[in-house]
Structure 1
Amino acid sequence: MDLLLEQSDVEITEVDHDGRTILHYICGGLDKEYPVLDLIETVLQAGVPLDQESATGLTAFHQVLCSGYWSVALFLLDRGADPMISKRFKYNHSLLHIILKHSDSHDGKCELVGRLIEKGIEVDTYTDSPVFDPRFNEDDKIENVIGIRSPDTLVSSDCTPLLLASTREYSLNNMKMLLAAGADPSAHVIIRDVEFEGKTNGNRQVFLSGVFRHVWEPLSQGEGELLEHVDPIEVLLQFGSRLDFDGPADSPLQEACKVAEKGQFALLKILLGLSEARNVSESHVDKLISAYKDKTEYTKIHERLEIFKKREFID
């Protein structure tokens, strides 16, 4: 690099046909065999703009987020990179969506989320994707958008960043930061997959139902699958995630009761045991109590609902 910079006919600040600088190339793609941080420092000192946007609105910082290089992203922030130049991307993906779609345990990811929150990034941005239809060759019409194969950010759902954090491994701390920053734990999840639309009495679900659908389909998997996801469910309930729903789809509490009808009580026990009156309306609990009151085969479900009502709304 030093040798190239000494050449009179080398202009390091030149850009390609898409407006990308050499910094974009250094920060994109796969793992490099050369010392990336040293090279970034060299080109910055040589005058390459840190925050120059490409024709598609990407800076080098955005490029490195799409590649999942958290340590490099933090390095760019430390050098003064402005992450807020473009706050949203194709199909309304935010920087938080881009970061949280990765499933890894690197501490840098959590630090990045925290620093973006400190800079005032919006925490409840919804993606806005076209409907995914597996009957057709989606590769012909779905674009690769800055590292995200659109529209299926999360199995063809439109969602806020919190849903990504709630359904990815190693993201409990990210969840807590988003919730502490005001993320809505009851935000609706929009189903964008024709295979699911119609099976849920509508394409909207309350947040917990979206979590269940993505990490544990209650009526098709055993309780062992659910127990692996107790921690994020507990955090969501602590922050007030709703058990009821104002739309036509089943509420999380209704789903738990239906699973209990099959003899699997873990989900119902978790929801009722970790929830308070603020998580559900008394009228919704009464509705379910009435539904199971005269069904002797479901006496245990009725009893658990009655105990919850007495604890939260009477005593």
Structure 2
Amino acid sequence: MAMAAALLSLQTNASSVIQERQGKQGAQIAIEIIKIFGDIFKFAGFAFPEEVDAWDWGANPNMCDIYMETTDGLNCYASVRCNDGLREYNAGKSTWSACYQGGRQFFNDPRIGDFSIQFSGKDGIDGQGLTSPLLQVKDVGNWKEIPVSDLAAKMAEDDECRDHLGTTCDDGPYVCMWLGGPYEREKGRTRKWRCGVPKTGMNFPGFDSDGPTNSRGYRPGWCGVHVTQYQKPDPSKDQYTLEARVVDANQNEIGSSGGKKGSKLVFNSKLWLPFVINSRAVDADPLDFEYDNVRWNSNDSKDHHCSVGNYDHGKREIDCGFTCK
């Protein structure tokens, strides 16, 4: 769904779930959610691309699942689960010093970095007790506020749309959800939410987690190179042409070849040294790479995790990783 169509859909099809917000109509709230994330949501022509939901770390190992709960208006608890295990915060429910309305508690998790949770409301759309959590992660938009309840309501709205056989329902991916189902949020004494955030330096549609960069403006660690190799127009006399770009450990582009060039590329970037790519004789041959006196080729799927696509319409795509200090 294109962006304009998505906004029109939000204006005309807001559900009763979001309409419960006091003093505002559901469509207005939904549009405000889009505005809140307008500077970090990368729609790329679609409102919500069909991908796995943000908290599904099993399907996307670059993501982590943040779980939040309160009981009886206090007893705050959180956990972060990634593909390498679970870490609990306030497991005994006695060390969360800011477990009250408006209180903001700070944490650090080695997978996602510094983050905070603030229960900004009481007896709100989520039910009685502490509600309306605001989740913030330092490396995502420099502590950008993630309005958990509003984003959970968006998922509930779409669920309701599908339950009523709607034809313009969004399919996600979703960032946050209520646990126990949106229609059961008034029941029981415990309020539960979950959201997905990327590991430091990783990305998800709408979330770009950037770790600290060095003096040259890139994050060292594991960088990547993407190459497009164009076949020879006339193999008897022509050469391959190559086009490439490199990304840092934040998955941000830090340099490129500047378009299609010859059969060998030597180009500078924010990296300390030039990056070298060289083609060989025939289509089946791998590409050769060199950076910082380390040499490898595109057949190296073990140490450099290279992937090579098939030729299609006269070109193929190649990706490799490498250590960048």
Same fold (TM over 0.5): no
Q: TM-score, normalised by structure 2?
A: 0.23
Question: Which of 1 and 2 has higher RCO (CA within 8 Å, sep 6+)?
Answer: 2
